[in-house]
């Protein structure tokens, strides 16, 4: 009994993944195409901004401003890209992402605002700024050269997958293999010890939020290229979905644990779940409620795991 419970708690993610997969494929006519669609097209977007959230969660915070950073940076860049200045546009987009992330980081480290409140507040401010900038308009009909970033494929696999996995590889390397990555984990696990060991914890946190901002604007850019449209409402659900994916993936809110690898599984669970609801003809209006439930459930699972671990040790 003890063993089964332990197994279930350790591998619940994989079990969940397969359960959802089986349910969703059993009701679709073309399960292979369906799964391919999810992995090729839907998952990469979610993955990229969820990585941003995961990094923030590892430092012991979180980033709820992902969606509005994506909207603001892409809308600003869209003005350039529509004039065919694609590279300048992309550079501006990523720079704005980094800049807004920097603001988040400064609010959290220097002004000592709780990360939740800081990024939630920034979300509102940035979203307001996007509304002002766009004034209700949209920018669309981009050139083919730009759209191909998201639409194109290589060897039959969507560019999105390559981009997402390139980012994953880089992040895995940086956060598992470098001194900086180690400092991010130690800062998340215990900021006081890390500071007393000579780690510049403020800098670590600021850089992580900047990376998170860049990842948000990257995924925003891909969305714009895919939808061929930049609008102020982009990414309304990013924060919520990314948090759900990160937590169900097993990165702990306490910080210092988990990683982007876990989040890949978390994202797959979320994407499959959404798809499953789609297939079952559940209204998309349920989305918010489902995200919320996933967050609660994963927090509860995390707690159960913790208790079980303590129980095993004694």
Nearest approach in angstroms of CB 55 to another protein is 17
Q: Does 165 bind another protein (CB under 8 A)?
A: no
Nearest approach in angstroms of CB 60 to another protein is 11
Q: Which of 190, 214, 171 is nearest to 59 (CA)?
A: 190
Q: Tokens 């409140």 correspond to what residue?
A: 117
Q: Which of 77, 100, 71 is nearest to 89 (CA)?
A: 77
Which residue of 52, 220, 249, 256 would you call a contact of another protein, by CB under 8 A?
256
Q: Tokens 């809308």 correspond to what residue?
A: 75
Element (H, E) at 24: helix 2-27
Q: Does 121 bind another protein (CB under 8 A)?
A: yes
Cα 199 versus chain centre, distance: 26
Q: Looking at 158-166, 206-214, 216-224, 289-297, which segment touches another protein (CB under 8 A)? A: 289-297
Quick one: tokens of 68? Answer: 């509005």
Nearest approach in angstroms of CB 174 to another protein is 9
Cβ pair 35, 25 in contact under 8 A: yes
Nearest approach in angstroms of CB 85 to another protein is 26
Binding to another protein in span 175-194, by CB under 8 A: 177-180, 182-183, 185-186, 189-190, 192-194
Q: Does 312 bind another protein (CB under 8 A)?
A: no
Range 148-167 burial, b when 16+ CB lie within 10 A, else e: ebbeeeeeeebbbbebbeeb
Q: What are phi and psi of 155, to 5 degrees?
A: 55, 35
Q: Does 131 bind another protein (CB under 8 A)?
A: yes
Q: Does 170 bind another protein (CB under 8 A)?
A: no
Cα 189 versus chain centre, distance: 21
Q: Does 303 bind another protein (CB under 8 A)?
A: yes
Count of residues that interact with another protein, criterion CB under 8 A: 62
Question: CB pairs under 8 A, 24+ apart, for 153-158?
Answer: 157/40, 158/40, 158/41, 158/44
CA atoms within 13 A on the CB side of 198: 1
Burial of 280 (0-12, 13-18, 19+ CB in 10 A): exposed
Which residue of 22, 286, 311, 312 would you call a contact of another protein, by CB under 8 A?
286
Q: Does 31 bind another protein (CB under 8 A)?
A: no
Quick one: tokens of 34? Answer: 């369906």
Nearest approach in angstroms of CB 252 to another protein is 9
Which of 158, 183 has the CB closer to another protein?
183
Quick one: tokens of 52? Answer: 């941003």
Which residue of 15, 91, 293, 312 would you call a contact of another protein, by CB under 8 A?
293
Bridge-based pairing state of the strands 139-140 and 153-154: unpaired
Which residue of 124, 140, 233, 311 would you call a contact of another protein, by CB under 8 A?
124
Nearest approach in angstroms of CB 46 to another protein is 16
Q: Does 107 bind another protein (CB under 8 A)?
A: yes
Q: Looking at 92-100, 115-123, 216-224, 263-271, which segment touches another protein (CB under 8 A)? A: 115-123
Which of 27, 117 has the CB closer to another protein?
117
Where on the chain is the footprint of another protein (CB under 8 A)?
A: 62, 107, 111-114, 116-118, 120-122, 124-125, 127-129, 131-132, 135, 177-180, 182-183, 185-186, 189-190, 192-200, 240, 243, 247, 253, 256-257, 283, 285-293, 295-296, 299-300, 303, 313-314
């Amino acid at each position: 009994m003890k063993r089964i419970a332990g197994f279930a708690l350790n591998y619940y993610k994989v079990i969940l993944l397969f359960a959802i997969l089986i349910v969703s494929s059993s009701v679709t006519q073309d399960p292979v195409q369906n799964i391919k669609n999810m992995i090729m097209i839907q998952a990469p977007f979610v993955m990229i901004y969820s990585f941003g959230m995961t990094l923030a969660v590892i430092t012991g915070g979180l980033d709820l401003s992902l969606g509005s950073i994506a909207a603001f940076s892409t809308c600003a860049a869209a003005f350039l890209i529509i004039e065919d200045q694609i590279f300048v546009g992309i550079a501006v987009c990523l720079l704005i992402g980094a800049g807004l992330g920097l603001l988040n980081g400064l609010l959290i480290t220097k002004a000592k605002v709780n990360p939740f409140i800081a990024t939630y507040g920034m979300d509102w401010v940035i979203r307001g700024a996007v509304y002002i900038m766009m004034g209700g308009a949209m920018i669309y009909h981009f050139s083919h050269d730009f759209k191909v970033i998201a639409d194109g494929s290589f060897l039959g696999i969507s560019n999105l997958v390559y981009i997402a996995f390139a980012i994953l590889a880089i992040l895995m390397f940086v956060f598992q293999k470098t001194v900086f990555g180690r400092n991010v984990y130690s800062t998340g696990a215990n900021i006081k010890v890390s500071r007393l060991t000579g780690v510049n914890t403020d800098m670590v946190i600021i850089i992580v939020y900047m990376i998170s901002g860049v990842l948000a604007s990257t995924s925003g850019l891909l969305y714009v290229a895919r939808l061929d449209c930049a609008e102020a409402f982009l990414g309304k659900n990013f924060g919520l979905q990314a948090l759900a994916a990160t937590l169900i993936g097993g990165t702990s809110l306490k910080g210092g644990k988990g990683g982007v690898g876990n989040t890949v599984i978390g994202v797959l669970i979320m994407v499959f779940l959404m798809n499953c609801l789609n297939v079952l003809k559940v209204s998309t209006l349920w989305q918010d409620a489902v995200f919320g439930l996933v967050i609660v459930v994963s927090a509860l699972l995390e707690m159960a795991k913790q208790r079980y671990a303590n129980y095993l040790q004694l």
